Amino acid sequence: MGRRKTPIDWKTYNNTLVNRGKNIAEFVKFFKNEKLFEKEKKKMNDGKNGHPFEYADRMFVLLAVIKAITQKGFRFIEGFSFLLFDNVPDHNTIWRRVGKIDPKIIKKASTAKKSKTIDIILDATGISVNGTNVWIDEKYNLHRKRSWVKLHLCIDANTKEIISVNVLDKRTHEGESKEFNKIVSGAQKKSKVKKVYADGAYDSKKNFEFCKAECVEPVIKIRRNSVNPVHKKKMHNEHLEHRGKEPPPLSFRDEEVIRQTFWKAFVEKKNYGKRSGIEGVIGSFKRFFGENVGSKIRKNIENELLIRCSVWNLMVG
């Protein structure tokens, strides 16, 4: 492993970590507003048939954020809630209401800043659904079927904030055109995307054509096994031109393959090394929140991961 080219600025690094905790504290202080709780609860009960709501959704968004930070169960969250509220719901109510929270309400907890143009980085990571059983399975030689989901992330290359996120099934490939279009379009709703950095998993003709149509510059690594066929196609076109025939045009992806033939020059020109920034984000994300989720129901799993992404943006924002 090579030595760092630049020394670590420990003062800046320490202040960054302190500010993450400070940002969370300010969010809890701002979100814990009894007047807003009562106002939202009154709006929720307006025209409602049956027993009225006793607690506002705002309370459960706050408790869900605290749960994401502490990584504790709902019984602990019930007890911890007495520090914040006088009238505290029981753990079953917290579990039920957190599972029913609309993802749009959860996303309001995010403070991702909007800028005119941004460069984005894409990647996905696995989150285990039953990861707590790994040690038990190894001890008793059990062969339990593993279950996990993919967290498909799109981050701002400069601020490291999560701009767009999708939760995928373990069999869904994050690089397929449908998922690529979805997550890039989600980022474009917030800011104008100038460049998209991604590894070879996103290398496909449809993804390059989508970037061309959206006026986004793709900085995507080409798979090695596609280099020779493209060069043969180029040589064939040159042969046709030499014979006075019009060759078929190369696709946008084929042109990118030719540009990446000189890989080192491509890395320096396009600053492809910026893509590694998402590896650090994923590593920090998993160290802070863990590599597994406590929820088992699909909707609850998605909500739990969306809350974690919102908390991440609160910390780095």
Is 216 found in the same domain as 134?
yes
185: CATH = 3.30.420.10
The whole-angstrom separation of Cα 24 and Cα 310 is: 11
Give Cα separations from 213 to 15, 146, 219, 221 (angstroms). 42, 39, 15, 19
pLDDT in tens, 85-116: 888 899 999 998 888 877 666 555 555 555 67
Is 121 found in the same domain as 97?
no
| pLDDT for res 53 | 78
Is 147 found in the same domain as 79?
no
Task: Evaluate whether residue 269 is within a structural domain.
Answer: no
Query: Which letter does DSSP use for residue 292 in this model?
Result: B
Is 122 found in the same domain as 96?
no
pTM metric for this prediction? 0.83
**42 torsion bin: left (phi>0), alpha (psi -120 to 50), beta (else):** alpha
Task: Evaluate whether residue 183 is within a structural domain.
Answer: yes
Is 215 found in the same domain as 121?
yes
Q: How many residues does the chain have?
A: 317
Q: Contact 111/317 with Cβ under 8 angstroms?
A: yes
Task: Evaluate whether residue 29 is within a structural domain.
Answer: yes
What tokens were used for 317? 């924002």
**165 torsion bin: left (phi>0), alpha (psi -120 to 50), beta (else):** beta
Domain end (from 53, 69, 101): 101
Counting Cα atoms < 13 Å in the Cβ hemisphere of 291 gives: 10
Confidence of residue 44 (pLDDT cuts 50, 70, 90): confident
Confidence of residue 150 (pLDDT cuts 50, 70, 90): very high
Confidence of residue 297 (pLDDT cuts 50, 70, 90): confident
Which of 97-111, 232-246, 254-268 has the highest average model confidence (pLDDT)? Answer: 254-268
Is 74 found in the same domain as 33?
yes
Q: Could you identify the residue written with the tokens 């025939």?
A: 245
What tokens were used for 140? 């008793």
- DSSP SS3 for 45: helix
Task: Evaluate whether residue 262 is within a structural domain.
Answer: no
Is 176 found in the same domain as 95?
no
pLDDT tops 80 at residue 64? yes
Query: For 35-49, 74-88, 205-219, 286-300, which range has the lowest pLDDT when averaged over its residues?
Result: 35-49
The whole-angstrom separation of Cα 311 and Cα 307 is: 6
Task: Evaluate whether residue 314 is within a structural domain.
Answer: no
- Give, for 220, the enclosing helix (H) or strand (E): strand 217-220
| pLDDT for res 1 | 45
Per the structure, the count of domains in the chain is 2
Domain end (from 101, 129, 164): 101
Q: Determine the residue type at 8.
A: I
Domain end (from 101, 129, 153): 101
197 compared with 3, residue with greater pLDDT = 197
The whole-angstrom separation of Cα 38 and Cα 64 is: 19
Is 134 found in the same domain as 215?
yes
| pLDDT for res 2 | 55
Burial class (CB in 10 A: 0-12, 13-18, 19+), 255: middle
pLDDT in tens, 14-28: 998 899 898 888 888
Is 133 found in the same domain as 195?
yes
**Could you tell me the residue range of the domain that residue 168 belongs to?**
117-221+276-280
Is 92 found in the same domain as 175?
no
Task: Evaluate whether residue 37 is within a structural domain.
Answer: yes
pLDDT in tens, 168-190: 998 899 989 999 999 999 999 88
Task: Evaluate whether residue 5 is within a structural domain.
Answer: no
Q: Contact 117/191 with Cβ under 8 angstroms?
A: yes
Q: Contact 207/229 with Cβ under 8 angstroms?
A: no
Is 167 found in the same domain as 141?
yes
Q: Is the dihedral of CA 70, 71, 75, 81 positive or negative?
A: positive
Is 92 found in the same domain as 57?
yes
Task: Evaluate whether residue 88 is within a structural domain.
Answer: yes
- DSSP SS3 for 154: strand
What tokens were used for 153? 């992330």
